[in-house]
Structure 1
């Protein structure tokens, strides 16, 4: 029996329907649509509408606002993986003349550049993009508010610069790069820069009366890479699966994992939130979620992924304010994770094992701290403390008999086996830390030596 493509239980489906129905009713939004992915497969969709018989479906477009930012970030990471830029590069190296060229690509991706959050007046989300024909119009007279790299300060203008960076390096418009390099390979045919029927209209709902007002849907011009896109729950479910697992046609798994990793400390007082490279990171209901929220006048959107549970949820609404799709999406994940927890894959032995690697497993000692070394798939290893908290890490095997740390304290550090002249193992060296088979055994290669008197009582 597998858990990957089984239908949800009727009780779980009813709980999901109840959650979005409550969100639509209490949030007073004309329509709301949700979808849930489990192990890469859409297992549930639902919708509520104020018009009987006209509920949206998974193919109905909504404007997704800042969920556009992860798409722009993917384009930038593709340039990095191709060697056309480095995340540490200053913007000026590839996009000269902005006046803020000392900020780096990584700082722009993680909202730590210190740039202003919004473009100067008039309100850019409700006015035509041609009011800001150049980057100087987007940035204004005082674009830098904080020292670069010192704090997280969300910046729509920063993603405008990243879109222009993509155009400068790639030599094609941002929209064209997005379509050919991301949308087409992933099959996101209903994700577009302009609405394509069927699509929802954007509405403002009066805060003190049950009446509505249509919102304008402006072309954002240069600001498009920060929030232009329209999409559907079906397309965003596919995009969520890509952000969880990668796709070699667009970005390999290691790169999307890098995007999901914290790149900057959260704002003071918001310790349940953070930001990676184009992706928001939050703690909700005791779970770590990655994804993004979005809003533009007339629309609200939320996309969250729980990688460990193999779950993702998308919620879209067509109101300027009201429901919080990010909260609703997190609740959809919680409902399924609690009602139908993921069934682990069966344990299976490794397909083969190198006797020399097997001989390295077991206890090792860093000073008097006891660690255990275990083999994992693809000749990798895992080093964990045997008692209490400590510095645990997984390591990927290299082609030269060493391993590279993947996470934790030793991420990026090199683990190697040091042998004696006769070929026997002397110790493990991990970033200058020495691990021996016994704690402070005489003759072991312990930095500083071992007291000749040996172990003793009081």
Structure 2
């Protein structure tokens, strides 16, 4: 059987050949294996192609701007429900909220005023802000998903002003340097590949002109390597492993960013948007989180993998290509992640006996009934948990944390009814005889809502 690196390398070579992409660079990051890289083709210039080759990553840039926004939120500099006009002096559309701009539900038109993609001349910051008076809100705010580079550009400028620097300076100081993403930046280096448009009816590859995105840089300006981007994807999937001290963002904040706020298609729920992140569901409760990117001559796909059997910690993949039409790049990142999890799965940790539930909770583990359905409460890994008796094996349980000043009251911290309270009721002997979860009554036997016990009957 072909070993996994060879299998993955063959997938990259096939995508490069099928997609007729002059250069492809792929990398796979995971906590339990050495970094895997593969490059195919050539740069189109005098520099050799290798893992250090720099490609334009386009809209993957948005994920970095989103991280800067969330840092500002965590530091108390803004609220996600603030109107953007609270942080920028705007002639129009100042009521668009930070949250809606991050999730592409603010309704703003896609690009700044003018024919940016015709002239390849992006506006300066002052020009972009002044021209907002000529920009359309093409949909009512909150109505539905509508992708907007302009929206992320506004957020990037707000972050820059709140931090007292340029967007690029703030990004380098607060994200790139702490995570060691030394090859990532707003400008190409001497190791940059040339971007091409490959002719549809011949093998000729036309070099694309370089384009500086000016004020719209926070939406699409960055250049990087596949190795840097695989690490960034791993951070988005498993921040606690990549950034254990939370120097960039806490794991809870990244989890908030990953929650889907809108589908991108009302009929085919194949992808959604969180706070600046694309979420792509996979079979068996697996999610790929990250972003795609496209700029003249370049395509990029940067995704981390969460959930499912075989998924390793800090698992992220990046595929970068030097063709504006080599769409095989987009699917390849997802296929590499799936193949790695299937053919080189993470090690299975052995089960070991643990301590029993605390004395005051000894009567809770077991079967309970609520709303006519059966639930199983259990004690695992030092926490009280619950799951429906008929839940599929891969569905995560609800997990409860005790309130420090109320020993018989717990907060649901993950899973079903997250955020809601679980209250225990005891009889005169101190035995737990009833529970209320999100105010619904849970009893040891199946009962109607008015307390009729089927086991006892009339």
In the superposition, the TM-score normalised over structure 1's length comes to 0.88
1:184 to partner: Cα distance = 0.6
In structure 1, C-alpha distance between the alignment counterparts of 2:133 and 2:21, rounded to whole Å: 35
Residue in 2 that maps onto 1:343? 347
Residue in 2 that maps onto 1:263? 261
Aligned partner of residue 198 in structure 1, secondary structure: coil
Q: Please list every run of 5 or more consecutive structure 2 residues that lacks an aligned counterpart in the other structure.
A: none
* 1:18-167 matches, cutoff 5 A: 18-39=10-31, 41-50=33-42, 56-124=49-117, 127-130=120-123, 133-136=126-129, 139=132, 141-167=134-160
In structure 2, C-alpha distance between the alignment counterparts of 1:255 and 1:296, rounded to whole Å: 29
1:425 to partner: Cα distance = 2.7
1:295 to partner: Cα distance = 0.6
Deviations 1:34-89 (A, max 9, x none): 11122365442111115799652221111100000110111111111122222122
Residue in 1 that maps onto 2:332? 328
Residue in 2 that maps onto 1:399? 404
Query: Do the aligned partners of 1:125 and 1:218 also contact (CA within 8 Å) in 2?
Result: no
CA pair 251-138 structure 1, distance change in 2 beyond 3 A: farther
Aligned partner of residue 194 in structure 1, secondary structure: coil
Q: Please list every run of 5 or more consecutive structure 1 residues that lacks an aligned counterpart in the other structure.
A: 1-8, 441-445
Task: Name which of 316, 322, 338 aligns with 1:318.
Answer: 322
CA pair 124-136 structure 1, distance change in 2 beyond 3 A: farther
Question: Which segment is superposed worse, 362-371 or 39-48?
Answer: 39-48
Deviations 1:4-32 (A, max 9, x none): xxxxx853222212211111112112111
Question: Which segment is superposed worse, 276-285 or 324-333?
Answer: 276-285
CA pair 355-421 structure 1, distance change in 2 beyond 3 A: closer
Residue in 2 that maps onto 1:299? 298
Aligned partner of residue 32 in structure 1, secondary structure: strand
Aligned partner of residue 167 in structure 1, secondary structure: helix
1:194 to partner: Cα distance = 0.8
Question: Which segment is superposed worse, 151-160 or 133-142?
Answer: 133-142
* 1:348-367 matches, cutoff 5 A: 348-350=352-354, 353-367=357-371
Query: Do the aligned partners of 1:304 and 1:313 also contact (CA within 8 Å) in 2?
Result: yes
CA pair 42-397 structure 1, distance change in 2 beyond 3 A: farther
CA pair 137-46 structure 1, distance change in 2 beyond 3 A: farther
Task: Name which of 427, 430, 436 aligns with 1:429.
Answer: 436
Tell me the C-alpha RMSD between the 2 structures: 2.8
Query: Do the aligned partners of 1:126 and 1:218 also contact (CA within 8 Å) in 2?
Result: no
1:424 to partner: Cα distance = 3.9
In structure 2, C-alpha distance between the alignment counterparts of 1:388 and 1:218, rounded to whole Å: 52
In structure 1, C-alpha distance between the alignment counterparts of 2:323 and 2:391, rounded to whole Å: 50
How many residues end up aligned between the 2 structures?
A: 442
Query: Do the aligned partners of 2:43 and 2:193 also contact (CA within 8 Å) in 1?
Result: no
Deviations 1:262-285 (A, max 9, x none): 112332233111111111011356
In structure 1, C-alpha distance between the alignment counterparts of 2:24 and 2:455, rounded to whole Å: 75
1:439 paired to 2:446: yes
Query: Do the aligned partners of 2:87 and 2:158 also contact (CA within 8 Å) in 1?
Result: yes
Query: Do the aligned partners of 1:358 and 1:375 also contact (CA within 8 Å) in 2?
Result: no
1:414 paired to 2:446: no
In the superposition, the TM-score normalised over structure 2's length comes to 0.88
Deviations 1:345-369 (A, max 9, x none): 2223446752223432111221432
Task: Name which of 12, 17, 21 aligns with 2:9.
Answer: 17
Residue in 2 that maps onto 1:4? none
